[in-house]
Structure 1
Amino acid sequence: MYKCALILAAGKGKRMKSDLPKVLHKVCGKEMVNIVIDTMKKSAILDLNLVIGKGAELVKEATKNQNVSYSLQKEQLGTGDAVKCAKKFLEGKKGTVAIFTGDAPLITEDTVKKAIEFHENGQYAATVLTSIIDNPEGYGRIIRKEDGSLKKIVEHKDCNENELCVKEINSAMYCFDIQSLLDNLDKIKNNNAQGEYYLTDVIEILESQGKKVGAILVPFEETLGVNSRVQLSEVSTIMRNRINKYHMENGVTIIDPLNTYIGLDVKIGADTIIYPGNVLEGNTEIKDGCILYPNSRIDNSVIEKGVSIQSSVILDSEVGQNTTVGPYAYIRPESKVGNNVRIGDFVEIKKSTIGDGTKVSHLTYIGDAEVGGNCNFGCGTVVVNYDGKEKHKTIIGNHSFIGCNTNLVSPVTVEDNTYIAAGSTITDKVPEGAFAIARARQVVKEGWTKKKGLSK
């Protein structure tokens, strides 16, 4: 059967106290609305429409690669009004529409699939996802008939004394038969405490028409929405625990899950060990058998097998097998570090390739360079890649030895099997097999301090 989804993402989010639309706040490194979109796609719902309002252009920009359509809710007049704004998207379709919210990112693929299966197998006109909680304060209540079937949903502010005692609550997530929904949207009235158009009123309308209305219980945790920074933190904690548990069940050792931060799209191979304080973000992939010692940040990078990283930052780059990085190294975007390389303490690599077996052990900057294999960089080497106006490239061949405190002034080429003396400033090509010395000859003036009156 045909399936589509509406994701309600037009809320103002006043309690967030932010200029950013609520649904664009991130949970484990990804915008909440994009998490919900991804979950829908994993559930085989590919025709998606976002109902947007506040910050519409920002939401469009953040979701531009998701292949979704948009409906605009100019004024936030309730969930029923939001769905009315998407009538054009629904018209002409037959099947099921799932309705979820862009600020409730904990819903899982498994639950979405079960809800749709329950809805379609039961041939319901509408299905409500519900939960039972001890303290239902603020939630709409599920009111059932004597036979246990669903009668209506009453918003908290509109509940009478008996209805307030009900502990089964509305999750604000639904499945509808598309035609049944379209036939009754315009019958919703706003004669309630908030003066809004409630989507929940459609449930009571359908029931009064004798149509089947279902309700499926789902874990309350999955229905949690975000309306404040406190709730954002609570949802992020739950999501982080899920992610860490998933990786541990797949062969990753996480020493302290409470202090390890792994993004939703990160992949980690078996037998990798992760110490506390690591932050793994974006489309990062850590392959088998790596060791991430405390306090590194890795974003959108590929780390090959057997790599060891200590207290370092790696952004949009690749690190080859059995390489060691850090402590306190900084590998900047578009860098590619080879196999069996040593990137040591206080080393910065920027938009450069480093060949296999090369050692850059400490206090060195390499920018806009191609470095061959099995080279050695002495302490304090600087690739001087910027002339004040433009960046220039340096090429260093295989088996080159760069002495301590060398400046390589770009653009410059250092060919294979070369040696550069410590303290040199290299501005010209160093040919293969050569030894380059580029420094002033030492001059000693004996007795100079006494003559100048500087002796102490």
Structure 2
Amino acid sequence: MSTDSLAIAVLAAGKGTRMRSHLPKVLHRLSGQTLLENVLASLGQVSPSRRLVIVGYAAEQVQKTLADVPDLEFIKQTEQLGTGHAVQQLIPALDGFSGNLLVLNGDVPLLRPETLAQMLATHNENGNAATILTAQVLDPSGYGRVFCNENLVVEEIVEHRDCSDPQRQNRRVNAGIYCFNWSALMTVLPQLKADNDQQEYYLTDVIKSLSPVMAVDAADPNEILGINNRKQLAEADDILQDRIKKDWMLAGVTLVNPDSITIDATVKLEPDVIIEPQTHLRGHTVIQTGCRIGPGCLVEDSTIGPNTTLLYSVVSESTLAGGDRVGPYAHLRGQVSVGKNCRIGNFVEIKKSTLGDRTNVAHLSYIGDATLGEKVNVGAGTITANYDGFQKHPTVIGDRTKTGSNSVLVAPIEVGSDVTIGAGSVLTKNVQDDCLVVSRAPQRVIPEWRPREVRGDG
């Protein structure tokens, strides 16, 4: 299909009252993306020249949330008067357009790209005026029924409430996804009327005036599920998570107890990664080959280099170069960059810092706003005192420097290379290369000392 022959319209103007939320329904999240972003992701096998989103309720919020999604055009539907009325709002924007229009719903997030590709192929190969996505479902209650001949040419669409008892036995239902020849649609769309109890303009009403119209069944009925409440949102997430995890396992990723693991649709995994139970991978995370993640990890918007091990730890907005060992109970956050073959141990927090290759922060330490060189060894209980109550200040530690246990480095401070810091030191001044630095109060021993209340002398 040529790239100038297809426009996409996503209906996203509704509030979604049954979600019981101030957030527009299409902005609720499903496996790491908004419902609307999941719908847009289903376009992966087609090449539209225009992508239009029809917005209404909280339109500015929807536009702001999707501001980073390229090539979207937003069309305002001031009053929400039905699907036909929504598509009518496209008439000025598509003036002079002569290709096909694919209409999607912003609350139907489980469509597969190959399903839409098949639907468009059928539409073009048969020269259809309209093509409808349908599905055969076990319980069609509430859905409009689509009646076709043996060639899947649509003869009639009947809403559930208007079906006779024999008609209700038909399990082919309307998914509400349409492909129109825009020129053919324009012969009837402007004349669409709201002749119904709801006083709304229904897109299905144009079908009876178009010919030919064909149906295409989705292979998996779950693809057409719409989201109207939080229960359906959770059910859709289960379906999408099952898909995501199956795809990764078939791509060479080991998931141990997959039911306990969640993986966002935006995560990228390489073969020979092992994901242990109770691990959650979110956002734009990349896990490279040979990694073992978990049990009990949260990794968010981070890149984990090859052959890294994470155990019971949280890594957010950070990068590990590879060959690193992290945890248990470590927390990396806010643009941490860890070099190769580093060790970050239990109860260590690192924030907005850079660690050189083969640097170790083994336990019970806080490193913030710091730059550590290669082969630095941070002793237990070391902290960088980076905050003076008003501003954050940097700490710099040179290559091969060792900090003794319970050291405090009061920023801003620079410690050179090949420095040994004595245990219990508090450093407030810069330290030159190649030296021992000790900063302690003299030890005092007072024999036979007791608290006054123990001595009983007043």
TM-score (norm 2): 0.96
Helix, strand or coil for the counterpart of 1:216? strand
How far has the Cα of 1:144 moved from its partner? 3.1
Question: Match for 2:317: what amino acid?
Answer: D
Name 2:184's counterpart in structure 1: 180
Name 1:272's counterpart in structure 2: 273
How far has the Cα of 1:417 moved from its partner? 0.4
2:95 is aligned, of 79, 87, 91, to 91
Is 2:38 the partner of 1:35? Answer: yes
**Structure 1: gaps of 5 or more residues:** none
Helix, strand or coil for the counterpart of 1:246? helix
Q: Note closer, same or farther for the CA distance 1:154–1:455 as it changes in structure 2 (3 Å cut).
A: farther
The 1-side partners of 2:150 and 2:414 are apart by 86
The 2-side partners of 1:47 and 1:113 are apart by 16
Name 2:170's counterpart in structure 1: 166
The 2-side partners of 1:146 and 1:269 are apart by 45
Q: Note closer, same or farther for the CA distance 1:140–1:399 as it changes in structure 2 (3 Å cut).
A: same
Q: Could you list the per-position Cα deviations for residues 150-185 of structure 1 after superposition, in whole angstroms to 9, with x for gaps in the alignment?
A: 123222233344433322100000100011112211
Total equivalences in the alignment: 451
Name 1:357's counterpart in structure 2: 358
Name 1:5's counterpart in structure 2: 8
Is 2:77 the partner of 1:76? Answer: no
Name 1:64's counterpart in structure 2: 67
Task: Tell me if structure 2 keeps the 8 A contact 1:158–1:192.
Answer: no
The 2-side partners of 1:247 and 1:147 are apart by 37
Helix, strand or coil for the counterpart of 1:104? coil
Q: Note closer, same or farther for the CA distance 1:42–1:352 as it changes in structure 2 (3 Å cut).
A: farther
The 1-side partners of 2:43 and 2:152 are apart by 29
The 2-side partners of 1:202 and 1:397 are apart by 73
The 2-side partners of 1:132 and 1:10 are apart by 28
TM-score (norm 1): 0.96
Helix, strand or coil for the counterpart of 2:442? coil
Is 2:207 the partner of 1:212? Answer: no
Name 1:237's counterpart in structure 2: 238
Deviant stretches of 4+, over 4 Å:
145-148
The 2-side partners of 1:323 and 1:169 are apart by 53
Q: Could you list the per-position Cα deviations for residues 397-419 of structure 1 after superposition, in whole angstroms to 9, with x for gaps in the alignment?
A: 01111011111000001100001
Name 1:291's counterpart in structure 2: 292
Is 2:344 the partner of 1:343? Answer: yes
Helix, strand or coil for the counterpart of 1:40? coil
Q: Note closer, same or farther for the CA distance 1:163–1:189 as it changes in structure 2 (3 Å cut).
A: farther
Name 1:113's counterpart in structure 2: 117
How far has the Cα of 1:147 moved from its partner? 7.3
Name 1:50's counterpart in structure 2: 53
Q: Note closer, same or farther for the CA distance 1:160–1:91 as it changes in structure 2 (3 Å cut).
A: farther
Q: Note closer, same or farther for the CA distance 1:243–1:146 as it changes in structure 2 (3 Å cut).
A: closer
Q: Percent identity?
A: 39
Is 2:265 the partner of 1:249? Answer: no
Q: Could you list the per-position Cα deviations for residues 95-123 of structure 1 after superposition, in whole angstroms to 9, with x for gaps in the alignment?
A: 11111111111111111111001001100
**Structure 2: gaps of 5 or more residues:** none
Question: Match for 1:92: what amino acid?
Answer: G
Is 2:446 the partner of 1:445? Answer: yes
Task: Tell me if structure 2 keeps the 8 A contact 1:252–1:269.
Answer: yes
Alignment of 1:8-19 (within 5 A): 8-19=11-22
The 2-side partners of 1:191 and 1:144 are apart by 25
Q: Could you list the per-position Cα deviations for residues 49-79 of structure 1 after superposition, in whole angstroms to 9, with x for gaps in the alignment?
A: 0011111111101111222001111222111
Name 2:371's counterpart in structure 1: 370
Helix, strand or coil for the counterpart of 2:367? strand
Question: Match for 1:396: what amino acid?
Answer: I
The 2-side partners of 1:14 and 1:48 are apart by 26
Helix, strand or coil for the counterpart of 2:114? helix
Name 1:194's counterpart in structure 2: 198
Question: Match for 2:39: what amino acid?
Answer: V
Q: Note closer, same or farther for the CA distance 1:118–1:259 as it changes in structure 2 (3 Å cut).
A: same
Q: Note closer, same or farther for the CA distance 1:146–1:383 as it changes in structure 2 (3 Å cut).
A: closer
Task: Tell me if structure 1 keeps the 8 A contact 2:38–2:109.
Answer: yes
